[in-house]
Amino acid sequence: MYGPPGVGKLTVARELAALTGFKLFHNHLTVDLVSAVFPRGSKPFGPLIHRFRREMFEEAAREGVDVIFTYVYAHPVDEPDVKGMIEPVAAAGGEVLFVQLTCEREVLLERVAAESRRSFRKLTDPAAMERLLAELDLATPIQFAESLRIDTTALQPTEAAARIVERYGLPATH
């Protein structure tokens, strides 16, 4: 599940995990792990995050564990990273289903400032979000695979999760 910061990835992913029983491996688990030792922008930061994610997906695929992953995808710079993360899943015979979450810019800027984002040390400054949106293409979908695109502007997270289950025919535990 991918989209810009504040779009609702973690919130929708939690609902999807509750509906399906899939394991939730959200973006900040690895970001927080690596940043505990190496600051953002340091030489080992990006490679370590990529390696930990890839190894987690490889092992999950080998063990048959269904995983929901959240990610901020910037087109086209993150395409090699995404391909690298999903390669072990495909190699193990697994399937990767892509969901792109979007929402209106004004709503996104409001959500980014939400207090709930602080507990994960997420981006919470609307001005920084504006700069990020100006510098990176966070709206273009992943080009090498089909993505279900869901606008979360006025959609409840439970409804977004239900749409994902329906579109991809995922098993629902409820």
Tens digits of pLDDT across the chain (174 residues): 999 998 999 999 999 999 999 999 988 889 889 999 999 889 999 999 999 999 999 999 999 999 999 999 999 999 999 999 999 999 999 999 999 999 999 999 888 877 776 676 766 777 888 998 999 999 999 999 999 999 999 999 999 999 999 999 999 886
Instruction: Check: CB of residue 62 under 8 Å from CB of residue 92.
Output: yes
Return the closest-CA partner of residue 35 out of 27, 1, 59: 27
pLDDT of residue 87: 95
Q: Give CA–CA dist 166/82, Å, rounded.
A: 24
Return the closest-CA partner of residue 73 out of 143, 153, 154, 162: 143
pLDDT of residue 112: 83
Tell me: cis bond preceding 157? Omega within 30 of 0 counts.
Answer: no
Q: Give CA–CA dist 151/7, Å, rounded.
A: 9
**What domains appear along the chain, each with residue ranges and CATH number?**
9-166 (3.40.50.300)
